[in-house]
Amino acid sequence: MATEKKTTAKKTTAKKAACKKTACKKTACKKTTKAAAVKHIGLVKNDPYLADYEDAIRGRHDHVLWKMGQLTNNGKTTLSDFANGFEYFGLHKTEKGWVFREWAPNATDIYLIGDFNDWKETEKYRAKRLKNSGNWELKLPEKALKHGDLYKMKVHWEGGEGERIPAWAQRVVQDEQTKIFSAQVWNPEPYKWKKKTFKAKTTPLLIYECHIGMSQDAEKVGTYTEFKENVLPRIIEDGYNCIQIMAIQEHPYYGSFGYHVSSFFAASSRFGTPEELKDLIDTAHQNGIAVIMDIVHSHAVKNEVEGLGNLAGDPNQYFYPGDRHEHPAWDSLCFDYGKNEVIHFLLSNCKYWLTEFHFDGFRFDGVTSMLYYSHGLGEAFCNYGDYFNGHEDDNAICYLTLANSLIHEVNKNAITIAEEVSGMPGLAAKFEDGGYGFDYRMAMNIPDYWIKTIKELKDEDWKPSSIFWEIKNRRADEKTISYCESHDQALVGDKTIIFRLIDADMYWHFKKGDENDVAHRGIALHKMIRLATASTINGGYLNFMGNEFGHPEWIDFPREGNGWSYKYARRQWNLVDNKELCYHYLGDFDKAMLKTITSEKNFNKTPVVEIWHNDGDQVLAYMRGDLLFVFNFSPTRSFTDYGFLVPTGAYSVVLDTDNKAFGGNGLNDDELTHLTAYDPLYVNDRKEWLKLYLPARTALVLKKN
């Protein structure tokens, strides 16, 4: 989804940095004739162009250390100890009964109302403010509540009152008839995990981005169990090793795609029970599939009754005051990352999903929005100075760094991914190097590049040099998740790559034997675009559910404008299963592509070595380990005995986009072994000529024997 957010009273380290610098330089020169070697922080050591901003980088780093000391009593406890709010706040079963707690400093009175007291304020269910705090507590006997009871808080404050769902509620449900949301007492038999420990496979990380609700063929909201039974086996079969699940945190409006969260600790009940979600994650783990969650800490829904918008008469309890209160583009509220209570809430949220549900990590949504006062809106980010000009929210930077530290403290093998579009240096660099500690950042430039290329350039103007540069355009010290398209490109108002390539002809010419030139072109380029993107990764590769087989049509959730229809909020698996249609060609290719990539040990860590490019011919070749990737992007020119220098040896074809099994023409004999041809000029380089037949608009992957 998006990207952006947050502030701080400190206004940044960057401006202080500039002042410090000059003074430091002068004194350093006076002290010594021979200048001692400057010990640079890791981020600067890895990228000398950041030297001018080292003070700012160190300032941000020190800010995190200071805050970490504050939260851990100077290291006497841990961040993990600090992030246990979910065990204290909210409703919990105890040995003697029940206890309920809520942070609501502005409240003057809090009652629990629900099925148990006819939704009326009663003294028995009245909470008490804990001395010298903004916390409220209510202790109840065991018989006062039962599993399944619906409840809310009735909160009073100076000048007003209102019904509210507790901020820390772990179960929230919606009434089918009235559409009203309520918290629910949830005390089932504890889920018994079959796979108690799990370590994600990340060499490489192959992510299948998915949405539980729209994952079924039927025009309805899918469930955790249906996903486990119907979709998970497909993902396993296709060769992905990680699923990234959207819309887990409870959200009032289904059509928000899960990005306007109301209850941060509640797994969305529209998809089933918490135990059913745990069963899905457990089953994935048993099959070697990691599960990461699309977590939304960049903003929150405005709703007051269902959300945190005005929990106890103070709209700024969780959110920034003044002109930073609302996100100007998202119609949502911006968390105040400068408040320890808010940090406590959000860090506890991270730990909760890791420990209670065994998620393997998070994709953090909207990181750009968090990093800048402007939320990144209207900013160009053309040079390094744009990241250190005082427009950055130190509080948010601090929170994100703390979150990464906490997550890896709770699970050292956890995966964190930043959805970030500005290119902020250090985002996915180690904390000790002055980075923010994410394991990966989304390579958001790549889908933008492919879309721009398809939209603006004729096929004969596609330049391999430009393609190669863009798909490898990343910081050397930061791992990325490469992708051609995510859910963003599949939504109404945008277009998937397959639709940009084929458009309406998908409806009329996607039956085998019925394909026209437009369909043939689309099928060919869809495979080549994916292969180029996936084969140049330095961390992982992501695909959105259905895009691997060219799912037709956009995603449009039920809303007033479409008559509340589910027609476009689903996945038509029947299309890829139908062998009379062309969709399975793309799906089969995707599976073969991932198998090829994973055949090379530690593929993502092997260097990408350019062998050849020629923009005139539109030919590109590069190697990773023993795998040789060769592309001919020309729409019309095929080449016979096209030669380039490669390590001496024999090469076998392991993947051919033009294979008939993938909807191609089958112009190459893929059973042939290709031997390199001797050239005395390159003996010392241990290289010889490899000559290949390269049909137009095709790609080959060969393996050195």
In the residue annotation, 365 being an active-site residue is answered as yes
Place of tokens 């010889």: 688
For residues 116 and 144, the answer to whether their CB atoms sit within 8 Å is yes
Three-state SS sequence of 630-683:
EEECCCCCCEEEEEEEEECCEEEEEEECCCHHHCCCCCCCCCCEEECECCHHHC
What are phi and psi for residue 98, nearest 5 degrees?
A: -135, 150
**Burial environment of residue 413 by CB neighbours within 10 A (0 to 12, 13 to 18, 19 or more):** middle
Helix, strand, coil shares, percent, the chain, to 5: 35, 25, 45
- Mark 361-379 as b/e (b = at least 16 C-beta within 10 Å): bbbbbbbbbbbbbbbbeeb
H or E segment at 440? strand 440-442
Catalytic residue among 226, 238, 365, 478: 365
Beta pairing partners, 40: none
Q: Which amino acid is at 630?
A: V
* Tokens found for residue 617: 């011919």
What gap in Å lies between CA 387 and CA 14, rounded to an integer?
9
What gap in Å lies between CA 597 and CA 288, rounded to an integer?
17
Residue 148 backbone zone (phi > 0: left; psi -120 to 50: alpha; other: beta): left
* Tokens found for residue 233: 């086996």
What gap in Å lies between CA 271 and CA 189, rounded to an integer?
20
Among positive and negative, which fits the CA dihedral 509, 511, 517, 519? positive
For residues 68 and 432, the answer to whether their CB atoms sit within 8 Å is no
**Burial environment of residue 340 by CB neighbours within 10 A (0 to 12, 13 to 18, 19 or more):** exposed
What gap in Å lies between CA 317 and CA 320, rounded to an integer?
8
Place of tokens 């700024």: 316
Catalytic residue among 419, 485, 656, 688: 419
Q: Give me the helices (H) in 251-316, please.
A: 274-286
Q: Which residues contact 142 (CB under 8 A, 6 or more apart)?
A: 96, 97, 98
**Cα angle for residues 197, 202, 208 (degrees, 5° grid):** 90
For residues 549 and 587, the answer to whether their CB atoms sit within 8 Å is yes
Beta pairing partners, 137: 101, 128
Place of tokens 């695909």: 543
What are the C-alpha distances in Å from 445 to residues 388, 428, 473, 485, 591?
Answer: 21, 16, 8, 11, 24
Supply the DSSP symbol for 53: G
What gap in Å lies between CA 537 and CA 681, rounded to an integer?
33
In the residue annotation, 461 being an active-site residue is answered as no
* Tokens found for residue 262: 């109301």
User: Catalytic site residues?
Assistant: 365, 419
